[in-house]
Amino acid sequence: MGRKILFITTDQQRYDALGCNGGRIARTPVADGLAAAGINFRRAYNQNTVCMPARSTMITGQYARTHGVFSNGVPLPSDAPSIAAWLNQKAGYRTALIGKAHFEPMFDPGARWFENRMADEGKAGPYRGFEHMELAMHGPMGRWHYTKWLKENFPEEAAGFVTMLSARSGGDTGAPEVAYNPVPREHYHTDWVADRTIAYLDSLSDRDDWFVWMSFPDPHHPWDPPAEAARRINWRDLDLPPGHPGSREKIEAILAQKPRHWLEWYRGRFRNDEGGSMAFVPCEMTHDQVREINALIHVENELIDEACGRVIRNIAQRGWDPDTDIFFTTDHGDLQGDFGLMFKGPYHVDALMRVPLIWRPAPIAKLPAAEVVEPVAHLDLAPTFCQIAGISAPGWVQGEPLPIAPGSGRERAITEWDSQFAEIGMHLRSIYRDGWMCTVYEKSTRDLGFSLAMVYQALRQNRPLPDIRYDGTEGELYNLIEDPLQWRNRWNDPGSARIKSDLIADLYDHLPPPREPMLTVESPA
């Protein structure tokens, strides 16, 4: 028999959200306890900074350029490899995914993809190697299992949630996508995911080996946690986050060093259509709005931690804890006030790329607690799951098993971005190595992706199309040891030319070839 695996993911959670990673606001004793008893990876990176590509890497163990999901509008092919299927077929694992999957676009009014119509059809899998799936998104939207459950049992409670990407003003400060949700905590999706995970685990035999992916939709926007918990952190007591420059003048001076779309987004001249609401203009966001959003994010992080604690206690009560490995990570981060910005998108900085990653090995493995500072990646999760199960990793996996102690010799992590809208056409390639982050902006394209003009027309929005184009000479270079907030772009610094050249060569030496042909963008989100 192999060991059991609980794979916990959140959505859009920063590395520093957790106390064990330097967070000082949200109380996260469960995650902190896992880190103290296990292995905390201090430099873990995703391979893409939005949901679907990052999650597709988790399930396939492949770069986005290999599995093909380069944006949230590209569905993961139905025949894509799945580590859940591999564990099920090769090691007899029972497999389940509870919560947010998002391997297929969520904007799917015709219910084209099975992930989005499963609940309507009264089904809970099997799909993509998971024998059982119960799915949720960010509130009672779409057709997922949580939506159906809430609307059938507590229909009056659905109105308290904010519509994602609406940028609707709310809360005390008029912040975008903020609300104090009257939904009872036990009916909110965080506790629902934990409840359904416990119910699934309770259905298993004591003899079963299992791989359960428990996937929380929070703290991704909208920020609308249950009102009964939302006031536990008073936004008026918070300082601006360390990455916020403090004034418009300082923000603009910092952003002016970066490629043009950074400052243009801040001023509202470039719409971040791939990472946040089209209606959001960062320079209009007040300091109090930053504080209120952050307070609600901290509350959501606490609720997730408490929900994890309930599930882990249930595992212990079943007598499974000694042979259960627990992983905790997220798909990507949030700018959360850094640089005066919010949400995510084509902005390759640690706020979005660096993720919490904790592995609490099963106690029977007798692995000592450790902190690993060498870079690791989401790519490395799939082969680690195989190692735990006692089976060989499949040939299609591109990562390596996670190291269990410092001194592994790991050198680099690579993250990519390719725009899904033809009118934007950005292509970013980033490498973290030796305390440096280097991002190459490849030449912009005009013939790839979905038509943003068609999206604006469908939404009846009369706004100019983006006109930012890069010629392939632009980029970003940061010394994260001296400049952890990434406020000084050294791309054009003559004194950094040698390290820049070396990092760029190393980046392209280690990128696998792109998928040919590229998959097609089939939805705007």
Kindly indicate the confidence band of residue 2, based on its pLDDT and cuts at 50, 70 and 90: confident
Average pLDDT, the chain: 96
Question: Domain extents for the chain?
Answer: 4-244+284-406
Q: Establish whether the linkage from the previous residue to 126 is cis, with ω within 30° of 0.
A: yes
Whether the pLDDT of residue 459 is over 80: the answer is: no
Tokens of 430: 């980033």
Give the sign of the dihedral formed by CA 325, CA 326, CA 329, CA 330: positive
Q: What is the CATH number of domain 4-244+284-406?
A: 3.40.720.10
The pLDDT of residue 1: 65
Contact between 380 and 402 (Cβ < 8 Å): yes
Contact between 521 and 73 (Cβ < 8 Å): yes
- Report the pLDDT averaged over residues 452-462: 82
Whether the pLDDT of residue 401 is over 90: the answer is: yes
- 477, amino acid identity: L
pLDDT tens digits for 322-379? 999 999 999 999 999 999 999 999 999 999 999 999 999 999 999 999 999 999 999 9
pLDDT tens digits for 101-152? 999 999 999 999 999 999 999 999 999 999 999 999 999 999 999 999 999 9
Q: What percent of the chain has pLDDT over 70?
A: 100
Apex 524 CA angle, 522 and 525, nearest 5: 105
The pLDDT of residue 252: 98
Q: How many Cβ atoms are within 10 Å of 308's Cβ, its own excluded?
A: 26
- Report the pLDDT averaged over residues 82-111: 97
Contact between 385 and 362 (Cβ < 8 Å): no
The pLDDT of residue 470: 98
Spatial distance between the Cα atoms of 336 and 109, rounded to a whole number of angstroms: 30
DSSP code at position 338: G
Spatial distance between the Cα atoms of 19 and 358, rounded to a whole number of angstroms: 12
Spatial distance between the Cα atoms of 102 and 89, rounded to a whole number of angstroms: 23
